[in-house]
Each structure stands twice: as structure tokens, then as C-alpha cells.
Amino acid sequence: MISRIGDKLQGLAFILVGLVAWEVLCRVANIPVWLLPSPTRIWQETMVLAPVLPRHLLATLIGIVGGFALAVLVALPLAIAIVYSPIMRRIIYPPLLMLQSVPKVALAPLLLIWVGYGMSSNIVIAATTAFFPIIITTASGLQSVDNDLLDLTRSFGSKALKVFWKVRFPWAMPYFFSSLKVAVTFAVIGAVVAEFIGSDRGLGYLILTSSGTMNTAAMFGVLVILSIVGMACFYAVVFAERVLCPWYTPAELA
């Protein structure tokens, strides 16, 4: 425990040293502020944005969480359908692969036309980005149940629904959660892309407008906030996994 705290302090110290070096470099080499602003400059510009930040942060969070939730709601039943029905597998897989091979950025303008400008299109775009890993990984998790275990449930004459709830679903939980970890980072990407393309709110929108005014320092500030948001989302999933799958301890989280 003590050594783990020590490790974290080491990491923190490294970041601090890096920041100081960055600051010194900017000042000594006199790098123009539109090219590479110093950490103190970034802080100042971010403070200027502070009054409007909560509104944009909230918009992005709604995009991420909404898109993520929508992706789970769609992908989970589809994964179950794929596992239980060969017909569904044949029906679902080809369009799924087609959808996945199209870059979501290219799909976004179309979705914008269909769903309309605003929050709902952000959610849908984030969801299309996030749902693929969930469906694929969860389906393979549901399918990976040990054959002997299935024979065992057969020897009890158990009903399929009971086998699903008591065996298959908990068996697939670790798979489901590792897919969620990938999906939530994808949802962040999707939400920001959606804001780039058609939105008047969100951190993505802030980055875009800051870029328009060559305010590099503000862009950096928003990027830092965005990465904190991404990490928070990731660790929220990790936390949920720890609570819901206490028996399963992944090697160590990245």
C-alpha cells in the first residue's frame, strides 16, 4: 500500500518536473504563444473560459453518457440474439460489419440530417461509435461458457432462461466490462466528433472556436479537461466492474 502511494507520488513528481521544464523552455526560447503556450498561459486562458465551461462540460458529458447508455441498450440485446439464434447471427453480422467499416466521422453528417441538429444527434453519433466493441465482445463472452458447465446444467434439466441468468450472463460479465472500457473511450471520441460537426455547445465546440481565433492556450486547456473527462469515464466503468464483479480482478488496469 505504502509503495503504491510512493509510485503515484513518483508519477506526480514526473509530471511536475515536465511542466516546469515546459514553462522554462517557452520562456527561454521565446516560443510564440499561438504555437506552444506555456502552462501558466494555458491556465490563464482557461480561467477566462471558466464562466462558460460548466455549460459546455455538461453538454459533452450528456453526449458521452447518453451515447454510451444508448450503445449498451442496443448492443446487449443484439449480442444475446446473436448467441442464441443462428438466424439472427446471419442477419445481424453483415450490416454490423458494414457499419463498422465506415468511419463514424463520415457517417456523422448523415446522422445529423436524420436525427437533427442538437443533443440527440450527439448522443446517436457517440452511440454508433461505442456500440461495436460491446456487441462483439459480449457475444463472444456469452459464447465462451465451458461446455462441461452447460452439460452440467443440462443434467439438471434446467430451462434456458434460468441457465442464461445463473450461468451465461454472469460468465460473460468480465467480457462485458472489458468491452465497456473500450466503448466508453469510443463514446468520448464520438461525442467530440459530433460537436465538431454540428453543435453550438460542448468541449469539442470550444476547441473548434478556440482554433478559429488561434487561441492555442484555450485549446490546450479544453484538451486537458477533455482528457480528465475521458479518464473519469473510464475509471467509472472500472469502479462499476469492481463492485459488480468482485470475483474478477483483471491483471491491473492500464
List residues binding another protein (CB under 8 A): 146, 148-149, 151-158, 162, 166-167, 170-171, 173, 245, 247-248
Residue number with CB closer to another protein (171 or 234): 171
Instruction: Report the nearest approach of another protein to the CB of residue 153 (Å).
Output: 6
Instruction: Report the nearest approach of another protein to the CB of residue 65 (Å).
Output: 27
* Residue 142 CB contacts under 8 Å (≥ 6 apart), including other chains: 79, 80, 83, 168, 169, 171, 172, 175
Residue number with CB closer to another protein (167 or 224): 167
Residue number with CB closer to another protein (30 or 155): 155
C-alpha 224/C-alpha 191 separation (Å) is 16
Residue number with CB closer to another protein (46 or 140): 140
Residue number with CB closer to another protein (8 or 89): 89
Q: Write the secondary structure of 30-94 as one string of H (helix), E (strand) and C (coil).
A: CCCCCCCCCHHHHHHHHHHHHHHHHHHHHHHHHHHHHHHHHHHHHHHHHHHHHHHCHHHHHHHHH
Residue number with CB closer to another protein (68 or 164): 164
C-alpha 34/C-alpha 45 separation (Å) is 12
Instruction: Report the nearest approach of another protein to the CB of residue 157 (Å).
Output: 5
* φ and ψ at residue 249, rounded to 5 degrees: -115, 105
Instruction: Report the nearest approach of another protein to the CB of residue 171 (Å).
Output: 8
Instruction: Report the nearest approach of another protein to the CB of residue 140 (Å).
Output: 17
Looking up cell 450528456, which residue turns up?
A: 62
Return the C-alpha cell found at 61.
Answer: 458529458
Cα–Cα distances in angstroms (integers) from residue 209 to residues 32, 70, 201, 205, in the given order: 20, 28, 10, 6
Looking up cell 434460468, which residue turns up?
A: 162
Instruction: Report the nearest approach of another protein to the CB of residue 150 (Å).
Output: 9
